[in-house]
Amino acid sequence: MGPGGTCWRGAGVTGGVRRWLSSAAPLPRLCVVGSGPAGFYTAQHILKHHGGAHVDIYEKLPVPFGLVRFGVAPDHPEVKSYGAEDNRVLGIPGENLSGVYSARAFVGWYNGLPENRDLKPDLSCETALILGHGNVALDIARILLSPLHLLRQTDITEGSLAALACSKVKRVWLVGRRGPLQVAFTIKELREMINLPGTRPVLNPADFTGLENAVKDAPRPRKRLTELMIKTALEKREEKAVEVQAGAPREWGLKFQRSPQAVLPAADGRRARGVRLALTRLEGSGDSAKAVPTGDVEELECGLVLSSIGYRSLPLDPTVPFDTQRGVIPNSSGRVEGVPGLYCSGWVKRGPTGVIITTMNDSFDTAQSVLEDLQAGVLDVATSREGFGAVESILHSRGVRPVSFSDWEKIDAAEVARGKAAGKPREKIVDPQEMLRLIGH
């Protein structure tokens, strides 16, 4: 699985620590595949509640922590928690034009994910359009518009910082199919975007007409979020004329009830020059409201298009069941359907939703299933189950030398030292081969 989804095979675990320590039963060994938040939280819960369990965590990269390391925003290290190995495609003409990128690839680029290190996004245009109204979309907008002196204090990669220093982008539109009451970002991220130095929000008061009454009985987070958008739209309208005259350097705005129909090519037929959007009306209300095209369209000029409409997990192996429609492994409280002893957690378990606290609780839920199954005696914990000993033999026979945690500590120390020299928390190494050379592989 990717960093956002974890699969593991267990000789499970139990909450009854004394029972295990006082009996002659073999001690269970578990294998966790994926060292992101889902994997670590699951391992943590198991080790906390079972004194004899042995957990081995496997990761495909030479560095651990998945999207805690490669998370959405380098200036938000406390909330990094987005994973899944693929992104949803738009399914519209022109999405393969130069200048069109998935949010996942763009985020991976500025966070030093090795597979995205050569993305080289074209930032030579003035206007960028982000499709999506979630926290990932706001994070990308903030990175595109943040003053460089703020970004220099983060662990954003050196190459990304250099590219952003030359960026011509000064206007970012965030476009969503539905309305203000359906946005998926949270108030903290919105407030930070509103207060971003040297940048002004552009919200149209007409988009919020009558919404004060509509949210009176809404849950408090939705009510406060909507009220902040309304307040910003009304306040900033008064300031707009003054700011335009003063030449405010950068701006961003929210556009509602617009669905992408096509990315429009420039004269050369290779680059994006804009997006054609279908105007929509809402059927239903609240989170279940659906966007239906009205038949009207509009074009929005932009040279950079970022698709932030969601992530999806990929199938792990033909022997592991997978629901391609939902992008999840069919499971019951983390127990993989039809495969006893196999469990899943994270986005591959429930789909690409939620933040770090969601992943934590979800992982604890799966870990509890493992604990219960072991206590019930339904898992094979025979001593013949060697765990990493058997895996190590297979790797050795294939000439593969795994990276150990002490190896990672050498990489970590090198990154921190490089970062210190540049006045940053760390300077990530983005080339896996360089990581391996560093540890003598």
**Mind spelling out the 3-state secondary structure of the chain?**
CCCCEEEEEECCCCCCHHHHHHCCCCCCEEEEECCCHHHHHHHHHHHHHCCCCEEEEECCCCCCCHHHHCCCCCCCHHHCCCCCCEECCCCCCCCCCECEEEHHHHHHHHHCCHHHCCCCCCCCCCEEEEECCCHHHHHHHHHHHCCHHHHCCCCCCHHHHHHHHCCCCCEEEEECCCCHHHCCCCHHHHHHHHCCCCEEEECCHHHHCCHHHHCCCCCHHHHHHHHHHHHHHHHHHHHHHHHHHHCCCEEEEEECCEEEEEEEECCCCCEEEEEEEEEEEEECCHHHCEEEEEEEEEEEECCEEEECCCEECCCCCCCCCCECCCCECCEECCEECCCCCEEEEEHHHHCCCCCHHHHHHHHHHHHHHHHHHHHCCCCCCCCCCCCHHHHHHHHHHCCCCCCCHHHHHHHHHHHHHHHHHCCCCCCCCCCHHHHHHHCCC
pLDDT in tens, 261-286: 999 999 999 999 999 999 999 998 88
Within a domain: residue 73?
Answer: no
Question: What pLDDT, on a 0 to 100 scale, did the predictor assign at position 70?
Answer: 78
Residue where a domain terminates, one of 275, 290, 309? 309
On whether residue 339 sits in a domain, the answer given is yes
Q: Report the CATH number at residue 326.
A: 3.40.50.720
* Count of positions (residues) in the chain: 441
The whole-number pLDDT of residue 312 equals 66
CA dihedral 427, 432, 433, 438 (to 10 degrees): 50
Please check whether residue 79 lies inside any domain of the structure: no
Does one domain contain both 205 and 165? yes
Give the domain extent around 232. Answer: 89-309
Q: Are 374 and 298 part of one and the same domain?
A: no
CA distance 47 to 348: 22
The CATH number of whichever domain residue 182 belongs to comes to 3.50.50.60
Model confidence over 108-154: pLDDT tens digits?
999 999 999 999 999 999 999 999 999 889 999 999 999 999 999 99
Residues 243 and 131 in one domain: yes
Roughly what angle, to the nearest 10 degrees, separates helices 220-246 and 187-194?
10
CB atoms within 10 A of CB 249: 12
pLDDT value at residue 255: 97
**Looking at the structure, do residues 285 and 177 belong to the same domain, yes or no?**
yes
pLDDT, residue 214, reads: 87
CA–chain centroid gap for 27, Å, is: 35
**Shared-domain flag, residues 246 and 381:** no
Is residue 250 in a domain?
yes
Residue whose C-alpha is closest to residue 171's, from 122, 127, 121: 127
pLDDT the model gives residue 15:
32
Please give the pLDDT value at position 22.
37
Last residue of a domain, one of 309, 328, 360: 309
Residue 134 phi/psi, 5-degree rounding, is -110, 180
| 153 CB neighbour count, 10 Å cutoff | 12
Q: Per-residue pLDDT tens for 404-418? A: 999 999 999 999 999
Q: So what's the pLDDT on residue 2?
A: 37
Tell me, what's the pLDDT at 285?
83
Give the residues of the chain that fall short of pLDDT 50.
Answer: 1-4, 11-23, 79-80, 82-86, 244-245
Question: Do 149 and 284 lie in a common domain?
Answer: yes
Domain end residue (candidates: 281, 309, 337): 309
pLDDT value, residue 8: 55
* Residue 279 CB partners (closer than 8 Å, separation 6+): 257, 258, 293, 294, 296, 297, 298
For residues 236 and 151, membership in a common domain is answered with yes
Are residues 111 and 227 both part of a single domain?
Answer: yes
Spatial separation of the C-alpha atoms in residues 147 and 378, rounded to whole Å: 57
User: Is 40 found in the same domain as 14?
Assistant: yes
190 plus 218 within the same structural domain = yes
125, 222: one domain: yes
pLDDT of residue 286: 82
In angstroms, rounded to a whole number, what is the distance separating the alpha carbons of residues 229 and 342? 45
Cα angle 85-431-407, degrees, rounded to a multiple of 5: 95
CA–CA gap between residue 427 and residue 158 (Å, rounded): 7
Please list, in sequence order, all residues whose beta carbon lies within 8 angstroms of the beta carbon of residue 109, skipping any fewer than 6 positions away: 116, 117, 119, 121, 157, 160
pLDDT at 16: 32
Same structural domain, 201 and 229: yes
Q: Residue 65: what pLDDT? A: 86
pLDDT at position 310 is 66
Whether residue 277 contacts residue 175, with contact meaning beta carbons closer than 8 Å, is answered with yes
Residue linked to tokens 């245009």: 125
Residue 236: per-residue pLDDT: 59
80 lies in a domain? no
Q: Give the pLDDT of residue 267.
A: 94
Q: What's the number of domains the chain is made of?
A: 3
